[in-house]
Chain A
Amino acid sequence: MTGSLIALAVLALVACGPYILDAYGIGLLIGAVSYTILASAWAMFSGPTRYISLATVAFYGTGAYTVAVLSEALPWPLVLVSAAVIGGVLALLVGLSTLRLAGIYFVIFSFGLAELIRQLITWFEVSVSGTLGRYIFLELEPRHVLWQLLALAAVVVLITGWIHRSRIGLALKVIGDDETVAAHAGINLARTKLILFVLSSVLITLVGAIQSPRWVYVEPGIVFNPQVSFLTVIMALLGGATKRWGPVLGAVPLFLLFEWLSARFPDHFSILLGLLFIGVVFLLPDGVLAAIEKLRKKKEARA
């Protein structure tokens, strides 16, 4: 409870950012908040279930595309609602058909999903609408984007808080520890996973939708950039996907690190990203938070 309150207070503080920061400062906040939501939403499902999902960009891109298609036809709030509904229905369909797959197959499928949706949209645009690039001309300023993202972040805080306190949170802990035990204890595995997958996907879809007016021009190659999926995974893993505040602690520092790298070493980004991946997986398999806890326990044991 205190955790949620502190988090909400921090979000409120960040919301004052646009009054003191310049455009780049606001841009940084948008990036950091957006990746924080992506990593938290990802961890919401993948943390407890241990299903590594590479489908982040499939939903993120779907959100952006929904805006590109509907932005002129509907008022903005309805566009966002449509994006959430489309993301949710898509996640439900995908979840129903794949969540019974064992872990490794799910990873492969989730990676393919982004490509599948990208090709479907391309096919539709080529053969039905006869255009590919779409324009988003909305009079939304960066600070509006930031405030919407912060509101979404507040929703994430409330949802994770609720999950931790509710029966579903307890069920997830059991599933994470041992699926067989969970099944024997009468937990409906498929339904629990599905609920989380849909929740997490709707949040990710909304991030894409809220951010897309910043890009003006949308085409599948731009919005389905697989790097978004990889960065989200590495951020959540660095912080610790099973801890409630883990993804935040992974997303913010890594986002800032990448930003620094892109300026300091503009020619070596891919190499550094690869090294970082290896480093996180080898040195911090359970994330920073878990590593700190382990250290503390060791100290206590010695004392």
Chain B
Amino acid sequence: MRNVTRRALSCYVSAMAIGLALPGAALAAETITIGYAVSKSGPNAGGAGISTIPNYELWVHQVNEKGGLLLPDGSRAMIEVVEYDDRSSAEDAVRAIERLATQDKVDFILPPWGTGFNLAIAPLMDRFGYPQLAATAVTDMAPDLAKRWDRSFWFLGGGHDYGDALASLLGELKEKGQINDKVAVVSVADGFGIDLIKAARPALEEAGFDLVVDTTYPAGTSDFATMISGAAGSGADTFIAFSYPPESFGLTKEAQTAGFNPKVFYVGVGGAFPIYPNVTGGIEEGVMSVGGVDAASPKIQEYFAAHQEVTGKLPDSWASAITYTTLEVLEQAIARVGLDHAAVAEEISTGTFDTIIGEVKLEDNQLRDLWLTGQWQEGKFVAVAPADRDGASDPVVPKPAWD
């Protein structure tokens, strides 16, 4: 039933196989089991395959290469992984947690991908006492959720954070006279798109913008010609799409085809994916999207290189680094206080951690120091908002024309 996935473990496993044949082999006590159920098939598999699974694999690989997880007494314990496919079904995700907790009795459980599934497992994680470091859940309810389940930690903010950040960034650009006061917005009628447009609409109006185009489209739309031509004819200097990956790419392609060159071009999820430059044919310069990383930070560069080397692909520049950060936080908390769930949760809640995104200290069980808007600059997706945070780059406006 257990999948020992790391190559580095193979020697150890064969040693254990031999050990099992010998009487009194006590090697099992030196491993720590980490369980997770992630969507490996079904509609969520795309997101999980980009932000979640590669980071889990990378982290386990790196920890085991170091000789295992460091414990407070200075010893190290190898990680053994138990993984399941939740098939993108909430019921299966819930049952997998029951299984990990009561059958496999794993030491720690890593969360699934996505807001919905993190919420689905939260009551169970709480009942079984496991700390839950939700790395890929975007919800404005995070403060209430952290109170409801006090061992749950929310690392990716809420729709308001992203909507407000974009509005204030655009507001500053308008003040400086770099863009006019007209904005064209399209949004997908699905969780993330709705949360963001709901937050951005009032924020943009408050910043003095006129939403000359404000349309919603159903998820799965593939023809964007009318949307782009509508935006092009609206006189807006700013085009915003609160979109999901297939549409983020489709809108970009359509804008290129139509020669639509607004001064600010913003797409939603997918804009920070490593494949985005390929979608644009290498002319992604200046496109804005959700997230961002401090590309000048040596730790981030090191992380990108390790991710590329171990998983064979680059991470995305939004949720990936945050997912990896949650794993570092867990690792350091275990090193300080051991395996006791209550102690680890307490440490995560109150401690300070040294991670690839810098020093992390949670506020009310939430990560609040987040990069909210990023922009492609010289082949990297760098963070531009919040502008007053260390490591922020200056936005390039107007965006260079496609061609």
Binding site for B on A (CB under 8 A): 22-28, 30-31, 34, 119, 122-123, 125-127, 130-133, 135, 137, 142, 211, 214-219, 221-223, 225, 227-228, 259, 262-264, 266-267, 269-270
Complex CA distance for A131 and B199, rounded to whole angstroms: 11
Complex CA distance for A90 and B400, rounded to whole angstroms: 53
Tell me whether B119 and A217 are in contact (CB under 8 A). Answer: yes
Find chain B residues with CB under 8 A from A266 CB.
3, 40, 83-85
Complex CA distance for A30 and B89, rounded to whole angstroms: 14
Q: Of B10-18, B90-98, B287-295, which binds chain A?
A: B90-98
Tell me whether B191 and A132 are in contact (CB under 8 A). Answer: yes
Q: Of B99-107, B170-178, B320-328, which binds chain A?
A: B99-107
Tell me whether A27 and B98 are in contact (CB under 8 A). Answer: yes
Tell me whether A215 and B91 are in contact (CB under 8 A). Answer: yes
- The yes or no answer to B238 lying at the interface (CB within 8 A) is no
Tell me whether B85 and A269 are in contact (CB under 8 A). Answer: yes
Q: Which residue of B has the minimal Cβ distance to A127?
A: B216
Chain B: how many interface residues by the 8 Å CB criterion? 45
Tell me whether B41 and A130 are in contact (CB under 8 A). Answer: no
Q: Which residue of B has the minimal Cβ distance to A261?
A: B85
Would you mind naming 13 contact pairs between A and B with Cβ atoms under 8 Å apart? A22-B98, A123-B218, A126-B216, A131-B198, A137-B148, A221-B43, A228-B89, A262-B85, A263-B1, A263-B84, A264-B1, A266-B85, A269-B85
Shortest Cβ gap from B118 to chain A (Å): 8
Q: Evaluate whether A122 and B189 lie within 8 angstroms (CB atoms) in the complex, with A22-B103, A23-B98, A227-B89 already known.
A: yes
Most buried by B among A28, A262, A267: A262
42-91 of chain B: CB within 8 A of chain A: 42-43, 83-91
Tell me whether B198 and A130 are in contact (CB under 8 A). Answer: yes
**Contact string, B96-137, partner A, CB cutoff 8 A, digits 1/0?**
101101110000000000011001101110011000000000
Shortest Cβ gap from A270 to chain B (Å): 5
Find chain B residues with CB under 8 A from A142 CB.
98
Q: Evaluate whether A122 and B190 lie within 8 angstroms (CB atoms) in the complex, with A221-B43, A267-B85 already known.
A: yes
Interchain CB contact (< 8 A) of B190 among A27, A221, A263 = A221
Tell me whether A222 and B90 are in contact (CB under 8 A). Answer: yes
Tell me whether A27 and B87 are in contact (CB under 8 A). Answer: no
